[in-house]
Amino acid sequence: MSLSEILTQDEQNEYMGQYLDTEEENSMQDDDELFRAILLLAGDTVNGKDGRGFSKHDKELGLKLAETIRDGEEFSINLKLLAYKLAKKYEKQLFINHNFDFGKISKPEHESKDKTIEQQEDKRTQAEILIDIANSAELFHDELKDAHAAVDVNGHREIYPVRSKHFKLWLTGQFYKQTERAPSNEALSQSLNAIEAKGVFDGKERKLNLRVAEYKGAFAYDLADKLWRVVKIIPREWKIVDKPPIIFRRYKNTAAQVEPVRGGDLQKLLDFVNIKDPGEKLLFLVVTASYLIPDIPHPVSVYAGEKGAAKSTIMRMQRRIVDPANRELMILPADKNELALTLTTNYMPCFDNLDNLQSWQSDMLCQAATGGGTSKRELYSDIDEVILSFLRCPALNGINVVVTRPDLLDRSVIFTLDRINPKQRQEESVLWKKFEEARPAIMGGLFDTLAKAMSIYPEIQLSSLPRMADFCRWGYAIAEALGAGGQMFLNAYFENIGRANDEAISNNPIAAAIVALMNEKAKWEGTPAGLLEALEKVAEIEKINTKAKSWPQAANTLSRRLKHVKSNLLDAGITYTIERDKSNRTQIVIIQDGISVSSENDQIVTGGGDDIDYLPDLPY
């Protein structure tokens, strides 16, 4: 296209002749001449007498563009683009008095050897550009078939769910870098559908973990820092990995851990906690270290103590070691879906200042300790489900032992805290400063302990294991690694189990009544109705609440109540059986270990009101 086709000779002289000599003008291509003229026309018009109606920004831009040409700087392709965009933006103002045919002006193209996205934008839709950008990431799906992307960010790799806000922002940012404009919402939505499909159907399946993971025989701990680094722990050794495999996911409440230093000591943690009993001190260290072991059930840390016992403080410190968070302490949700979401997005959720637990809350915390989950119907869908799964390390505190149900008590370790002496109390700012100064060494000592425990663990064989068997065996190895000795850990742990069992019995009216009934008695035998009558008499003497919801109101529900506390009674040395006698009537036989059975102590009850012949599920 010739310059003379759209500009008169006077206009050429005005916009070109005064800036270029004949030799320079003859050496330029037509397109360069055209865009140089447009550039100067735009600059002069925006900043001259015809500049009314132009924004302040565009006036400044026009002036800079005009100065660039007048200073003789190289007329680059980017400069052409700026001139083109400014000219097109103000098409009417620029060309109204010049009789330009704007259709003759084509957008400049890049050189063929290094084509970029600007050259191709007239050939590809925004959605296609976005999909091409996403292809630079590794698309995959997790075990629940949710699509994710591993993207490169400033030399390291970050992992985002495809439907997450972070991935959308990354995708939009990359689009803007290439095109200098934002994608439309429609293009973004279309592209995300295609990207998600590719991750689900074409990508690999990868298991994603929160904070801790097992990978090819090693333990991994996510530092959750800006560089997405991971601590790799193997027997007798640990190191920080700068470019780890794709094994972790993060949530909004996940915060960064300090960088651990070698030569530290986990036992420095005891300098900051208000635990007096030596056995509980060891249990605290063992429980804290065990929380970094992936894929095993973990005990629930339960803190109890009067006001001023620093229950919240010790729980916050434990969380900063195990699972730093932006919001460390939480209110226990009163909604099932909310609690499930909290357990899913926090590796060590800490629930503060509790008075009691509802039965469903207790059940869900049991699932969190040993592994479980929940599902609900997805919004606007009758078939698709949202599945939330978790294996977590919950912690609770309250003035009293807030856990009362036997099944959760079996999964708990109880720590009793005394009120801090006013002479020993420190200002919080001073305490936390000291703690933060010590935290890198504590973390280094923690990883040293785990690495050593990993080498000890395969050799450990215990003849008897409690309900939390995996934790018990690992706890033995950790105690050995700490130098305290595995037997000291076992003694402390089984003593704690006994205390938890006492709590379970005292908080269950049926269990408490049976223990009182069997006080100094070796055996009791009778019908369900007879046992309920005997228990009601004992309850009246012992002031046990028979109005409680868990107290059976009829003999045919008694055996179901007994089943709930059978293991607790067994730990207290009391066993029972339910069988048929010669007359085919239901009989309950209760025996207490450690007391010899004699005719004097035997008590057989066959009456006691209208007996109901009820035989529960057998065998026990």
CATH 2.40.50 for the 508-605 domain, yes or no: no
Average pLDDT (2-20) is 42
pLDDT higher than 80, residue 459: yes
pLDDT higher than 60, residue 383: no
Instruction: Write down the pLDDT at residue 40.
Output: 53
Instruction: Write down the pLDDT at residue 25.
Output: 39
461-474 pLDDT, tens digit per residue, is 998 888 899 999 99
251-302 pLDDT, tens digit per residue, is 999 999 999 999 999 999 999 999 999 999 999 999 999 999 999 999 999 9
Instruction: Write down the pLDDT at residue 70.
Output: 54
pLDDT higher than 80, residue 94: no
The domain 266-494 belongs to what CATH superfamily?
Answer: P-loop containing nucleotide triphosphate hydrolases (3.40.50.300)
Q: Which has more confidence, 40 or 366?
A: 366
What strands lie across the sheet with 395-398, from one edge to the other?
329-330, 350-351, 395-398, 300-305, 412-417
pLDDT higher than 80, residue 520: no
Instruction: Write down the pLDDT at residue 557.
Output: 85
Q: Among the listed ranges 1-5, 51-55, 210-214, 312-316, which one has the minimum average pLDDT value? A: 1-5
Burial class, 354, CB count within 10 angstroms (exposed 0-12 / middle 13-18 / buried 19+): middle
Instruction: Write down the pLDDT at residue 377.
Output: 65
Q: What angle do CA 370, 371, 373 make, to 5 degrees?
A: 140
The pLDDT-based confidence of 177 (bands split at 50, 70, 90) is very high
Instruction: Write down the pLDDT at residue 84.
Output: 55
The pLDDT-based confidence of 434 (bands split at 50, 70, 90) is very high
Instruction: Write down the pLDDT at residue 386.
Output: 73
Q: Where are the domains of the chain?
A: 3-108, 117-205, 266-494, 508-605
Of all residues in the chain, the percent with pLDDT exceeding 90 is: 55
Instruction: Provide the mean pLDDT of the chain.
Output: 81
Average pLDDT (587-599) is 72
Instruction: Write down the pLDDT at residue 36.
Output: 52
The first and second tokens of residue 193, run together, are 């559908």
The pLDDT-based confidence of 6 (bands split at 50, 70, 90) is very low
Q: How far apart are CA 25 and CA 20, in angstroms?
A: 6
pTM for the full predicted model? 0.73
70-89 pLDDT, tens digit per residue, is 555 455 545 555 555 555 55
Q: Among the listed ranges 13-17, 243-247, 355-359, 405-409, which one has the minimum average pLDDT value? A: 13-17
Strand stretches in 199-273, DSSP E: 204-205, 212-215, 218-222, 230-234, 237-241
Instruction: Write down the pLDDT at residue 28.
Output: 37
Instruction: Write down the pLDDT at residue 105.
Output: 41
Q: Could you tell me which residues come within 8 angstroms of residue 33 by beta carbon, excluding any fewer than 6 positions away?
A: 3, 16, 25
Average pLDDT (229-249) is 96
Quickly count: other Cβ atoms within 10 Å of residue 603's Cβ.
15
Q: Among the listed ranges 20-24, 241-245, 467-471, 571-575, which one has the minimum average pLDDT value? A: 20-24
pLDDT higher than 60, residue 567: yes
The first and second tokens of residue 561, run together, are 């109540």
The first and second tokens of residue 545, run together, are 């609440």
Strands 350-351 and 523-526, by their bridges, are: unpaired
pLDDT higher than 50, residue 361: yes
In the three-class reduction of DSSP (H, G, I as helix; E, B as strand; rest coil), residue 139 is classed as strand
Quickly count: other Cβ atoms within 10 Å of residue 438's Cβ.
17
The pLDDT-based confidence of 606 (bands split at 50, 70, 90) is very low
Instruction: Write down the pLDDT at residue 37.
Output: 55
22-59 pLDDT, tens digit per residue, is 443 343 344 455 455 555 555 555 444 444 455 565 55
Quickly count: other Cβ atoms within 10 Å of residue 252's Cβ.
11
Average pLDDT (448-459) is 97
Instruction: Write down the pLDDT at residue 20.
Output: 38
Phi-psi category of 229—alpha, beta or left, where left has phi over 0 and alpha has psi -120 to 50?
Answer: beta
pLDDT higher than 90, residue 63: no
Instruction: Write down the pLDDT at residue 251.
Output: 95
Instruction: Write down the pLDDT at residue 23.
Output: 41
Average pLDDT (305-320) is 95
Task: Give the CA distances from residue 338 to residues 73, 179, 538, in Å, rounded to whole numbers and listed in that order.
Answer: 62, 41, 42
Q: What angle do CA 161, 165, 167 make, to 5 degrees?
A: 50
The pLDDT-based confidence of 562 (bands split at 50, 70, 90) is confident
Q: Among the listed ranges 19-28, 115-124, 129-138, 393-402, which one has the minimum average pLDDT value? A: 19-28
Instruction: Write down the pLDDT at residue 26.
Output: 41
Strands 138-141 and 204-205, by their bridges, are: parallel
Instruction: Write down the pLDDT at residue 31.
Output: 46
